[in-house]
Amino acid sequence: MARAGSGIFGRWAAGLLGAVLGGIALLLLLDRAFPPDLSRLETVGRVVVDREGRTLSALPAPGGVWRLPVGAEEVPPHLVELLVAAEDRRFWRHPGVDPIALGRAAFQWARAGRVVSGGSTLSMQAARLLEPRPRNLRSKAIEAFRAVQLEWRLGKPGVLRAWLTLAPMGGNLEGVRAGALAWFGRPVERVSVAEAALLVAVPRRPETLRPDRHAEAARAARNAVLTRRGAPALPEAERVAALAEGMPDARRRMPGLAPHLSRQVAREVSGDVLRTTLDSGLQRAMEGIAREAMAGLPERGSLAIVVADLRTREARAVVGGEWLAEGRAGALDLTRAVRSPGSALKPLLYAMAFDRGLARPGSVMEDLPRLFGDWAPENFARGFSGRVTAASALRQSLNLPAVALMEALGPIRFASAMKRLGAPPRMPPGAGAALPLALGGAGVTLRELVGVIAAIGDGGRGGALRVLPGGAPFEGEAVVRAPAADAVAAILTQGFPGGGPEGVAWKTGTSWGGRDALAVGFDARHAAGVWVGRPDGTPIPGATGRSLALPVLARVFAALPMAPRAVEGTVAARAAGSAPVDGLRLLFPPSGAVIDEGAVTIRAAGGRRPFTFLVDGVPFASGGARREAGWVPPGPGFYRVTVLDADGGAVSAAVRVRGGE
């Protein structure tokens, strides 16, 4: 008998094993023949975040649905605990279908003659969210099969991801990330226990539990989730506060900072959450500055701003224009538009000239009419300043000295340096690098221009701006040597007209006809640029970089953390390896002085030797190490006396020489 019994048991066990294996084989065949449709889970919007992970922009899924992806590992633990307690207490123990819950639902249905509880697990709910169907028994059977498939294919984390991403939150909102942004105005990572409970409750009846329309119903549903068995245990004071917490009374706008850059990144980078190098607080401040400035611009005028970290070349704020503004080409990213830089490239030209020994800050140059082949460039103000130092010529943005330096340096060499800086010059059709490059005769973008000016502020290290984090730390290529770059930085470090932050080096640019007004600058930590103009390229009458763009640049640096550069004398002394020197001063004659005919001794103080003395722009004496020089006025009249030092510092005084009695 024992042998017969053991034989029967063996046959029974073998049969059971065969049935199990057959069932598994059938499930595998069905799974392969009828795979779940995951397209809704894969057709999602994108979230763009700043360097610290703070939300900049949310971009909707196709069709305008706010379906933003999120996984269980990205939400607070109390949200998952509330969800499991409210919807599927045995979630972690069943394979997708809960026989106990289904049996209870069937019994209640049979006894009451109607559906009392659905018996759906979170896995079955996820299946229904992926493939919505009519609510009937056939659909329930399909959902049960799909639930097992989802558990098999995605595991518990994948099932939670599907629910958290697809759960309806009212209107065109789907998922807890979109719900948190729309109802609370904060990322889902930072929702409170009460807010998490509302996100769990709303999907049960998303239109009748919308908190902005049905506040009391939403409150009751939320509090039911909070008090459900298995919900996170809270201290009594926190529990009372959570139950009393108010309902959102309106749906908030989705975050939309840096809209142009966000869409650029979404086109170029894969992933659900896209990290950038921006700073959300600074981006918000720059967009505010831009809005206020654009309110005062002429019709169709627009504005763009770029702020970058000087050392890493990472963009911290990018304002591409007024997003979708009618008449301002609001869909275009004007930080990437190719425009003429005007005189804003002159700092690079002078740095290269200083680096190659073609000039130094104190070199005397001629700002006088001259032909370069058949081209006769003029200054913006149409006049000429005579003999000036290179430092003064750069500060005044004089054109003739710049073109002369370009001729000596070579436009091809200059264009090559621009390419190495990540700013390849776009020439007119059929044209090559030529002398007009000195005055903006090629196109660059504002982002590229900020990269060029950053190289001047960073000791000559060149490199394009970056908007995406990661990769090797920025090292840069030495386009010019540090002493030359520092000399130009010292020349450009001056106060803003009308006041503003101190210790900022800046330069303006104006393209032909007032089509582009630019200002770029840097302090010890940041580089920034502002473009003002009309996107369609039509001129703004009277527009200049100094009048339109520079005041905005002053506001940009006023909004940045203070990081002033050293004053000119200190920078020059550091470059020379010596102690700082006093600022150059003219002791005699003072400005406005009236002096008699005869010999006059001009005296200077401070500054760095050697010194050059000029009257009306014409040198008359090189004092060398001496701080004074004798001058005999040629006759009565008005004169301008100037003293220059070795660093290009210049001080002047207007005097009148009166005739004999």
Residues annotated as catalytic are 87, 343
CB 329 within 8 A of CB 505: no
CB 82 within 8 A of CB 193: yes
CA dihedral 575, 578, 581, 586 (to 10 degrees): -80
Q: Where on the phi/psi map is residue 215: left (φ > 0), alpha (ψ -120 to 50), or beta?
A: alpha
* Residues pairing with 304 in the sheet: 531
Q: How far apart are CA 123 and CA 147, in angstroms?
A: 5
Contact residues for 308 (Cβ-Cβ < 8 A; gap 6+) = 314, 315, 316, 450, 451, 454, 465, 526, 527, 528
Q: How far apart are CA 178 and CA 186, in angstroms?
A: 10
Structure tokens at 374: 């058949």
Q: How far apart are CA 596 and CA 661, in angstroms?
A: 10
CB 507 within 8 A of CB 492: yes
Q: How far apart are CA 269 and CA 265, in angstroms?
A: 6
Structure tokens at 44: 């999602």
The Cβ of residue 598 has, within 10 Å, a number of other Cβ atoms equal to: 9
Tokens 């057959």 locate to 22
Q: Which of 490, 510, 531, 527 is nearest to 397 (CA)?
A: 510
Q: How far apart are CA 104 and CA 369, in angstroms?
A: 98
Structure tokens at 149: 């498939």
The Cβ of residue 282 has, within 10 Å, a number of other Cβ atoms equal to: 18
Q: How far apart are CA 489 and CA 574, in angstroms?
A: 12
CB 585 within 8 A of CB 652: no
Which DSSP symbol is given to 382?
S
CB 359 within 8 A of CB 428: no
Helix 193-201 × helix 215-226 angle, to 10°: 110
CA angle, residues 4, 10, 12, in degrees to nearest 5: 105
CB 254 within 8 A of CB 48: no
Contact residues for 303 (Cβ-Cβ < 8 A; gap 6+) = 290, 293, 294, 297, 319, 321, 322, 334, 530, 531, 532, 552
CB 433 within 8 A of CB 334: no
